[in-house]
Chains A and B, each alone.
Chain A
Amino acid sequence: MKTVKLTINGHPVEVEAGTNILNAAQKAQVKIPSLCYHPDLPAWAACGICVVKVKGLNRLVRACATPATEGLEVTTHDPELYGIRRTIIELILSTHPDDCLQCPRNNNCELQRLAAEFGIREAPYGKRLRDLPPDDTTGSLELHPEKCILCGRCAAVCQGMQGVWALEFIGRGEKMRIAPAADVSLEESPCIKCGQCSAHCPVGAIYEHSHAPEVYAALADPTKHCVAQIAPAVRVALGEDFGYEPGTLLTGKIYAALRRLGFDAVFDTNFGADLTIIEEGTEFIERFAHGRGPLPLITSCCPSWTDYMEKFAPDFIDNFSTAKSPHAMVGALTKTYYAEKKGLDPKDIFMVSIMPCTAKKFEIQRSEEMSSSGQQDIDISLTTRELCRMIKSAGIDFRNLPDDEQVDSLLGAYTGAGTIFGATGGVMEAALRTAHWSLTKERLPTMELKEIRGLDGVKEATLKVAGKDVRVAVAHCMGNIEIVLDKVRAAREAGEETPYHFIEVMACRGGCVGGGGQPYGATDTIRRQRAAGLYRDDEKSAQRCSHENPMIQQLYAEFLGEPLGEKSHQLLHTGYYKRKPYKR
């Protein structure tokens, strides 16, 4: 690693060559204020707040877009820089509505924080708002362009990281705005509802459509039997809003909080993850060992990924696992299996999923198969952020809740394999643990498949199972998937054997731990911490393979019969349809 030495306000620091001045300054315990820069993205250099002085240059440079070089002498703070930054913040505020109290980013907004840090007390440049209409057409995400400060993060995420190109700058000069590409509505655009735009937006210009009011209404309705389930990635991220370190495992406290909110039963999506592995793993063995169906098999747990595939890669529809996502399975079973056992009318059950995801809001209504129980299987999907707000508004002292609260029976118990679904590579790892056992009746020699963990965009591994090589690929962050698909397409066209047998795809960077509905502020460090929390949960689990889950075994014995059986097909599987990227 080549390093360079420079000084920040006279303090010598040594950093890796190519590090920008903004990050180099952190090594000298200096925080340069910035607004448009995000560590996930290349510098866009729009706001101009991070300007610094460099000795020998008679102009200022942007710390976000200037690499540290040998011998650089940087001044990050002085009265002139303070004045310039303050003026720019005041200018940006002159085009931003003052509706902080009604904004979902209140207390959590990067512009609000800057204004507070700089002690802005007046609006010297008046207020010039643009009167742009909001877009709430998807039911998952709301775009409020009048609040947008044009930092460009959402467009960079959508185009660069996710490869979707649903958001774009439209117009120029003071008429410039962020809008769905081609200026259609968000619902008509190629948007896959991953919500990464909302996770990266520094202000409240794009955020999840809140469904908390519907949940409160159901909780207040005595005729409703309210059931909640939490996704794997929620338990290691929710604590961030309550002062915990990222990655702190808070499963028990979250169960307790849900009960205190008034839910009659609390289930766990990890159970659904275990069930997904049984169904999807069986599908894989059918295709891999018995040649029934095309390879590679591609995971379908991620609703943004299925939306992307239907729009941009419909040539892979046959390769998709037809297994529903874990929470959809739990939803379908709650309104059939659980309802039967409890003697409840499925119509009276109100099923709420707590997800790290904004696309799940779209998924629960995406096709008829999502109403396999006769009702809509999942009534409402909330994001982690929405649950945080509900817990706070319900007056629950989250930090002092008991840690050991248990999940409800039937659809709650989970194994280590289920919990790691929340991290990239986790679905693959869990599936291979069970597939290996199914084919050999032996456990994997090492449970941890390190080569498919971590934040590399595309991870590959080859595993010997029953004397055969199983070649797998794991991609996360939607923009990386085309690399994998192109390899498969190339082999397909050349008539060669498929380069992979099994592919896992997650739309968000880091997998669900970095989901679009997670608490704000995710960086790679935080994604790693959250994933580490899930892997710790796995390590301390009594069972670490999905097929060992006693409640799953009971479910098949009492209700489903066998994996891929008739009842499974009816309740746990779905179909995919070619869709146009643009609806008009």
Chain B
Amino acid sequence: MGSGGMIVMDEDDCMVDVARFYQDFCVDESCGKCAPCRVGTRTLLNLLDKITTGKGTRADLKKIRDVGAAMQKAALCGLGQTAPNPVLSTLKYFEAEYLAHIDEQHCPAGKCKALVTYSIDASKCIGCTLCARRCPVGAIEGERQKPHRILPEQCIKCGECLKACKFGAVSRR
């Protein structure tokens, strides 16, 4: 995609999220002249949004393949013809990751915020308050030297608590 540079990714990168990122870029880059690209890029992005928020279905994968094929074959210029490539190639080589999002509402890499929950293991937490002080939105409550708790409705899933905890009490799932 783009300059021809190489990006190395590991198991902490979600392939569906990567595809979504590139599709978002293509929506902005589409000039709008031809229908396959103008409508196709947005349609793919919306389908990927659906999957990364756990609302996707297996039928959406067929839709992605159909729209991708139409774009590759019928978009007017190179941008539209290659715009579905990140989506189609991740779907080809990492289909299991897509299926985890769809069937289990689970993001294996923990990147798709809508599918991730953070929690504190009360048996490991010593109540040092570090996580609560790091939390940018004040979503962690608990008294000093007592186990803390994450408030899921306030949590923005930034992962700061996980990084802060020295006792392995915070987990992501």
Within 8 A of B (CB), among A122-161: 124-126, 128, 149-150, 152
Within 8 A of B (CB), among A174-222: 174-176
Chain A residues with CB under 8 A of B73: 51, 59-60, 80, 84
Chain A residues with CB under 8 A of B31: 172-173, 176
* Contact with A150, one of B29, B35, B36, B42 (Cβ below 8 angstroms): B35
Chain B residues with CB under 8 A of A83: 66, 69-70
Within 8 A of A (CB), among B43-93: 43, 46, 63, 66-67, 69-70, 73-76
Chain B residues with CB under 8 A of A47: 34-35
Main secondary structure of the interface of B (DSSP, over half): helix
B69 x A174 contact (CB < 8 A) = no
Q: Which of B46, B70, B75 has the most CB of A within 10 A?
A: B70
Q: Which of B28, B35, B73 has the most CB of A within 10 A?
A: B35
Main secondary structure of the interface of A (DSSP, over half): loop
* Chain A, Cβ-Cβ closest to B36: A48
* Chain A, Cβ-Cβ closest to B30: A173
Chain A residues with CB under 8 A of B70: 48, 83-84, 87-88, 91
Chain B residues with CB under 8 A of A48: 34-36, 70, 74-76
* Chain B, Cβ-Cβ closest to A124: B63
Cα-based distance from A378 to B63 in the complex (angstroms): 55
Cβ of A495 under 8 Å from chain B? no
Cα-based distance from A124 to B46 in the complex (angstroms): 12
Cβ of B33 under 8 Å from chain A? yes
A91 x B40 contact (CB < 8 A) = yes
Cβ of B126 under 8 Å from chain A? no
Cα-based distance from A172 to B30 in the complex (angstroms): 8
Cβ of B39 under 8 Å from chain A? yes
Chain B residues with CB under 8 A of A126: 46
Interface 0/1 of A73-106, CB less than 8 Å to B: 0000000100110011001101100000000000
B63 x A91 contact (CB < 8 A) = no
A51 x B38 contact (CB < 8 A) = no
* Chain B, Cβ-Cβ closest to A36: B35
Cβ of A24 under 8 Å from chain B? no
Minimum CB–CB distance from A269 to chain B (whole Å) comes to 42
Minimum CB–CB distance from A418 to chain B (whole Å) comes to 46
Cα-based distance from A88 to B34 in the complex (angstroms): 10
Cβ of A171 under 8 Å from chain B? yes
Interface 0/1 of A28-54, CB less than 8 Å to B: 000000000000000001111101000
Cα-based distance from A248 to B70 in the complex (angstroms): 43
Q: 11 other contacts beyond A80-B73, A150-B33, A176-B32, with CB at 8 A cut-off?
A: A45-B34, A46-B33, A47-B34, A48-B34, A51-B74, A83-B69, A88-B35, A91-B70, A169-B32, A173-B31, A174-B27
Q: Which residues of chain A have a CB within 8 Å of any CB of chain B?
A: 45-49, 51, 59-60, 62, 80, 83-84, 87-88, 91-92, 94-95, 124-126, 128, 149-150, 152, 169, 171-176
Contact sample, A vs B, 23 pairs, CB 8 Å cutoff: A45-B34, A46-B33, A47-B35, A48-B34, A48-B36, A51-B74, A59-B73, A88-B74, A91-B35, A91-B36, A91-B40, A92-B35, A92-B39, A94-B43, A124-B63, A149-B35, A171-B32, A173-B32, A174-B30, A174-B41, A175-B32, A176-B31, A176-B38
Q: Which residues of chain B have a CB within 8 Å of any CB of chain A?
A: 27-36, 38-43, 46, 63, 66-67, 69-70, 73-76
